[in-house]
């Protein structure tokens, strides 16, 4: 079996660097009868939306099996666990608090703490309660205020027991994929709506920040964004310009307002009727200081010019993952150093997601996923290089702990370092999980010895 290895002097080996595994509520929890329906429940019921026609009603039965899953996490030797809270498990349609739902997360955080694992909470990982979508969802600015109320309820319950609160996970997906490209729930295809959803999501982030700071003054507060370096399909000026526009539209659109209080200049290129409505004071609310930036990284993207706009060119050359994504670890170093060059010193960063889907096979109770070990080695080295180049990266979370519901791909994509049999719910640590476990446990031992000396 291959190993995980890093240069001997790497900062990633120090005890200050945090290693963890990550999941999200809708993708693993199940127990849908104990929460309000979300936009993903509705989407799953619509013909043709999910590749295998599946849904998240059962998923990994995590709500039932969470104690075993926590033991599994602890056995890996990680410092931290990143998970998300299902809004509809906490706040009912009538606005009352679902105390049992909230208790599930309180118990989870307490169990993690008892095992010395820090909790990194994401408040919104795409599972908007359907009752809010019925009132316009992220196209309605009132949803941003509802989010701040929900964030306050969670922070009141969990307070400083949580190490970090991320308001949103990948607003690019909840805005662009969901309201502009129609690929994710609620499946709307409209540019103006995509831009409005993005703005209202960022507003929700900004409105929630003071509530989080008030009730968890010692925790870190921030947001999780996904980035992908945008490369031109050719050296032509038109393609280079297309790639630059894609970078502004897909990457900068979410980070720049938070760090500078302005949208990228590309906003001016949009027709007036496509621009988001921005109320006076919104940009100040959005641009409050954050304690950390969560970064999700998977691949690079290639764009060509299409009528003075950009169009993506899907990769065809191997190595690709089963998502069809190119394996391109150097893109992580590139995109972060590039953002820091454009926007100035970035806040401290956690790589909150990184991982890959491969065609895993169970043979004699083992999954020999060598390609995933290579993927992790390549990307951990890229994180090491980010630090060498002056980007302050403080932690790394593998996506994902478990094989799970991969949104529009259903259960056809396996991202876990733990294999899940969705019939029996049996969990098997893949070879990548074993390699990471060995790396994490050895690292812990070394840092403990170093500290004792
Ligand atoms: O599974 C998703 C996750 O929910 C958000 N980031 C990307 C992952 C892989 O597609």
CB 433 within 8 A of CB 401: no
Residue 1, pLDDT score: 94
Round the average pLDDT of the chain to a whole number and report it.
Answer: 98
Convert the pLDDT of each residue in 51-93 to its tens digit. Answer: 999 999 999 999 999 999 999 999 999 999 999 999 999 999 9
- Ligand 1 centroid to Cα of residue 178, in Å, is 14
Ligand 1 mean position, distance from CA 17 (Å):
23
Q: Which residues pair with 269 in a beta bridge?
A: none
Output the pLDDT for position 451: 81
Distances (CA, A) of 28 to 21, 47, 420: 13, 22, 10
Q: Is 24 in the pocket of ligand 1 (CB under 6 A)?
A: yes
Give the CATH number for residue 78: 3.20.20.80
Query: Is any ligand 1 atom within 6 A of the Cβ of residue 170?
Result: yes
Closest CA to 15 of 310, 394, 274, 346: 394
Helix (H, G, I), strand (E, B) or coil at 318: coil
Q: Which atom of ligand 1 is nearest to the CA of 353?
A: 6
Query: Which atom in ligand 1 lies closest to the alpha carbon of residue 399?
Result: 8
Instruction: Note whether residue 174 is domain-resident.
Output: yes
In a domain, 28, yes or no: yes
Which residue out of 169, 178, 406, 413 has the highest number of ligand 1 atoms within 8 Å of its CB and is therefore the one to mutate? 406
Report d(CA 55, CA 411) in Å as an integer: 9
* Cα separation values, 259 from 21, 262, 312, 351, Å: 27, 8, 27, 18
Entry pTM: 0.99
Domain total in the chain: 1
Q: Residue 260: which pLDDT band, with cuts at 50, 70 and 90?
A: very high
Q: How far is the CA of 356 from the centre of ligand 1 (A)?
A: 10
Model confidence pLDDT, tens digit, residues 309-325: 999 999 999 999 999 99
Q: What is the pLDDT of residue 74?
A: 98
Q: Judge whether 1 lies within some domain.
A: no
Say if 2 falls within a structural domain.
no
Residue 169 is inside which H or E element, if any? strand 164-169
Would the CB of 353 count as within 6 Å of ligand 1?
Answer: yes
Query: How many H-runs (helices) and E-runs (strands) does the chain carry?
Result: 15, 13
Give the position, in ligand 1's atom list, of the atom nearest the Cα of 407.
1
The residue-averaged pLDDT of 32-56 equals 99
Instruction: Work out which ligand 1 atom sits closest to the CA atom of 126.
Output: 4
Chain segment 199-246, per-residue pLDDT in tens = 999 999 999 999 999 999 999 999 999 999 999 999 999 999 999 999
Distance 400 CA to ligand 1 centre (A): 9
pLDDT given for residue 448 in this prediction: 84
- Percent above pLDDT 90 for the chain: 98
With respect to residue 207, please indicate whether it lies within any of the assigned structural domains.
yes
Q: Are 220 and 163 in contact (CB under 8 A)?
A: yes
Please tell me if the CB atom of residue 196 comes closer than 6 angstroms to any atom of ligand 1: no
pLDDT tens-digit readout, 365-419: 999 999 999 999 999 999 999 999 999 999 999 999 999 999 999 999 999 999 9
| Cα 170 to ligand 1 centre (Å) | 9
Residue 326 belongs to domain spanning:
11-452
- CA–CA gap between residue 42 and residue 31 (Å, rounded): 16
Give the residue whose CA is nearest to atom 4 of ligand 1: 24
| Residue 439 CA to ligand 1 centre (angstroms) | 24
Q: Residue whose CA is closest, atom 9 of ligand 1?
A: 406
Question: What's the gap in Å between 406 CA and the centre of ligand 1?
Answer: 7
Q: How far is the CA of 272 from the centre of ligand 1 (A)?
A: 32
Question: Residue 38, by phi and psi: left (phi above 0), alpha (psi -120 to 50) or beta?
Answer: beta
Structure tokens at 315: 């990769």
**Distance separating the N- and C-terminal Cα atoms of the chain:** 32
Which of the residues are catalytic?
170, 353
pLDDT computed for residue 54 by the predictor:
99
Q: Ligand 1 in contact with 403 (CB < 6 A)?
A: no
Q: Whose CA is nearest to atom 10 of ligand 1?
A: 406
Question: For residue 5, is it within any domain?
Answer: no
Per-residue pLDDT band at 423 (split at 50, 70, 90): very high
User: Which helix or strand (DSSP H or E) is residue 448 part of?
Assistant: helix 431-452
Mean pLDDT of the region 243-263: 98
Mean pLDDT of 104-133: 99
Specify the ligand 1 atom closest to the Cα of 406: 1
> Is residue 252 scored above 90 in pLDDT?
yes
What is the token pair recorded at 121? 């909470």
- For the Cβ of 180 lying below 6 angstroms from any atom of ligand 1, the answer is no
Q: Is the CB of 200 under 6 A from ligand 1?
A: no
Q: Is residue 310 part of a domain?
A: yes
Residue 23 placed within a domain: yes
E strands, 354-422, in order: 393-399, 418-420
Distance, CA of 194 to CA of 214 (rounded, Å): 31
Dist CA 444 CA 254 (whole Å): 35
pLDDT tens digit sequence for 17-31? 999 999 999 999 999
Are residues 406 and 413 in contact, defined by beta-carbon separation less than 8 angstroms? yes
Residue 453 is encoded by which pair of tokens? 């000396």
Six-digit token string for 114: 């008892």
From atom 1 of ligand 1, which residue's Cα is the shortest distance away?
Answer: 406
Question: From the alpha carbon of 357, which atom of ligand 1 is closest?
Answer: 9
Helix (H) or strand (E) holding 253: helix 253-260
pLDDT band at 452 (very low <50, low <70, confident <90, very high): confident
Closest to 355 (Cα-Cα) out of 330, 385, 376, 384 = 376
**Confidence band, pLDDT 50/70/90 cuts, at residue 453:** confident
């Amino acid at each position: 079996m291959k190993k995980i290895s890093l240069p001997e002097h790497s900062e990633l080996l120090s005890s200050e660097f945090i290693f963890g595994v990550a999941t999200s509520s809708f993708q693993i929890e199940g127990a849908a009868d104990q929460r309000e329906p979300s936009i993903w429940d509705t989407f799953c019921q619509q013909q043709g939306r999910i590749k295998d026609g599946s849904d998240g009603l059962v998923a990994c039965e995590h709500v039932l099996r969470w104690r075993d899953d926590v033991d599994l996490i602890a056995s890996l030797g990680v410092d931290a666990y990143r998970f998300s809270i299902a809004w509809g498990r906490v706040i009912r349609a009538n606005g009352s608090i679902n105390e049992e739902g909230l208790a599930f997360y309180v118990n989870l955080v307490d169990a993690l703490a008892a095992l010395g694992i820090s909790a990194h909470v994401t408040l919104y990982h795409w599972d908007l309660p359907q009752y809010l979508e019925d009132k316009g969802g992220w196209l309605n600015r009132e949803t941003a205020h509802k989010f701040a109320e929900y964030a306050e309820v969670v922070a009141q319950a969990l307070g400083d027991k949580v190490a970090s609160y991320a308001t949103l996970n990948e607003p690019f997906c909840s805005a662009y994929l969901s309201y502009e490209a129609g690929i994710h729930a609620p499946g709307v295809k409209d540019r103006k709506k995509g831009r409005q959803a993005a703005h209202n999501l960022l507003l929700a982030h900004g409105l929630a920040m003071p509530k989080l700071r008030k009730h968890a003054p010692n925790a870190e507060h921030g947001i999780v964004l996904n980035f992908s370096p945008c490369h031109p399909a050719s050296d032509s000026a038109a393609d280079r310009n297309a790639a630059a526009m894609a970078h502004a539209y897909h990457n900068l659109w979410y980070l720049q307002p938070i760090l500078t209080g302005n949208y990228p200049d590309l906003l001016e290129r949009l027709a007036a009727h496509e621009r988001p409505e921005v109320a006076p004071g919104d940009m100040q609310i959005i641009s409050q200081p954050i304690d950390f930036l969560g970064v999700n990284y998977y691949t690079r993207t290639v764009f060509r010019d299409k009528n003075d706009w950009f169009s993506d060119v899907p990769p065809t050359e191997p190595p690709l993952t089963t998502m069809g994504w190119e394996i391109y670890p150097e893109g992580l170093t590139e995109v972060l150093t590039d953002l820091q060059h454009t926007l100035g010193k970035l806040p401290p960063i956690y790589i909150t997601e990184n991982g890959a889907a491969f065609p895993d096979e169970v043979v004699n109770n083992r999954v020999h996923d060598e390609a995933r070990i290579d993927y992790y080695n390549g990307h951990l080295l890229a994180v090491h290089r980010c630090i060498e180049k002056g980007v302050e990266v403080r932690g790394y979370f593998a996506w994902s702990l478990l094989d799970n519901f991969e949104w529009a791909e259903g259960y056809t994509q396996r991202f876990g370092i733990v294999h899940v049999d969705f019939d029996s719910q049996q969990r098997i640590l893949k070879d990548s999980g074993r390699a990471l476990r060995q790396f994490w446990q050895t690292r812990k031992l070394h840092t403990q010895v170093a500290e004792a000396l």
